Amino acid sequence: MFNNTASDVQRLQADLMRGRLEVNIDKASVEPEALFGFAERRNPKRAFLFVSKVLGRHIPARPSAMSGSFEKLASLIPEDLPGPILVMGMAETAVGLGAGVHRALSSRRPDSVYIVSTRHPLGTEIFARFEEEHSHASAHLIHLPVDADTREMMLNARSLVLVDDEASTGKTFINLYDSLVNAGLKSIERVVTATLTDWSAGAVTRSVGSTAAQVSLLSGSYEFHDKQDAPLPEMPKVGAVAAGDWPINADLDWGRLGTRGVEDTLGLDVLVHPGERVLVVGNGEFVWRPFLLAERLERLGADVHFSSTTRSPIALGHAVKHAISFSDSYGLGMPNFLYNVAPGQFDRVLICSETPIMAVDKTLIQTLSAEVIVDAF
């Protein structure tokens, strides 16, 4: 196991089109190069991006490696949190990570419930809103659970576990915490942020107080040195917060309305051959049931990787070697992307969707010669 300390700081850097990113790694439980890489955002608000290699979002990852990171991160969450515990995953990038951390945590803390922030309103009551100020899609919604028991656990939560893939400044976590408290979570005694990489230098603890803790697989600091003459990129319009032309079936919810656990029910008839190279692709926020499918196919002996489509606009270069652009599957009329997946790279590609098959862009299907698996309607 890799384990450096503050006296053994590791330094990394990346030269981007808009400047140089310099990183100091103070503490890590895994090799940094196995955990993340660098990329450049097509976003005038922030130039750089830390790209996880174990998240299954921008870089295909083996389900077993993803599950290992879920377990490792959950093991760092303090044992003595008062319950009920509300675990929250951040849309869209960390909804699967949050579900995985909750799954691992719930094995020892059955008094935990999971909910995600979202950019897809379901037509049910909204509990809170908050802003991710640097993001390409800054607005987040949090629904009030419909199920009475789940709603009671959320509203009476005494501990918050906030999950994201990385924390750059901690400001989004702080915004989220303030929004939840202002909306009515009045019983919170403890707050934990859980991230794969944390560059925020304890910002949440300084803001919330000593009742807050920050856990991560890697922590450190960064500096970004702007190129003064670098042109700002034009960012695609990907910030929509709306239901779209293809509304989501709330009865098939996997986290937007809160859950104690999700059944592995997607693609039960999918068969694979031992060693078959299979890519399972989640779609936007719809990643947890697709991940469970990928995990099952890996157990059956296939050579499985998992990835997801995203609305994040990223420039080619560094950790992003290939990009496919297509229309979103919710009828919002905005571009989506799939990164680091090239035609012919896998024997079989399974695109998973929570909207009907006709909502999935044929460009993506044809480019990858993919099959589409739709959650039952």
Q: pLDDT digits over 70-82, tens only?
A: 999 999 999 999 9
- Please report the beta strands in 18-144, taking only residues with DSSP state E, as ranges in sequence order: 19-28, 36-41, 48-52, 85-89, 112-116, 126-131, 139-143
Confidence check: pLDDT of 19 > 60 = yes
| CB-neighbour burial class of residue 78 (10 A; exposed 0-12, middle 13-18, buried 19+) | exposed
The percentage of residues in the chain with a pLDDT greater than 90, rounded to a whole number, is: 88
Q: Which amino acid is at 28?
A: A
Handedness of CA 326, 330, 334, 336 (dihedral sign): negative
Helix (H, G, I), strand (E, B) or coil at 113: strand
- Condensed to tens digits (0 to 9), the pLDDT of residues 235-261 reads 998 988 988 999 898 999 999 999 999
Q: Which pTM value belongs to this model?
A: 0.95
How many of the other CB atoms lie within 10 Å of CB of 199? 22
In the structure, what pLDDT confidence band is assigned to residue 135 with cuts at 50, 70 and 90?
low
Measured N-to-C along each axis, helices 288-299 and 95-106 cross at an angle, to the nearest 10 degrees, of 60
CA distance 264 to 282: 14
CATH (one of 1.20.1070, 3.40.50, 3.30.1390, 1.10.3470) for 262-374: 3.40.50
CA distance 241 to 253: 18
Q: Kindly list the domain boundaries of the chain, sorted by start residue.
A: 262-374
Confidence check: pLDDT of 6 > 50 = no
Measured N-to-C along each axis, helices 95-106 and 63-75 cross at an angle, to the nearest 10 degrees, of 60
Mean pLDDT of the chain: 94
Confidence check: pLDDT of 3 > 50 = no
- Reading the block at residue 311, the tokens are 């609305």
Cβ distance 118 to 88 under 8 Å? no
Enumerate residues 6+ apart whose C-beta is below 8 A from 120: 141, 241, 242, 243, 244, 248, 256, 285, 330
How many of the other CB atoms lie within 10 Å of CB of 286? 26
To 5 degrees, how large is the angle CA 171–CA 74–CA 279?
90
Q: Distance between the two ends of the chain, CA-based, in angstroms?
A: 45
Confidence check: pLDDT of 5 > 70 = no
In the structure, what pLDDT confidence band is assigned to residue 133 with cuts at 50, 70 and 90?
low
CA distance 209 to 270: 49
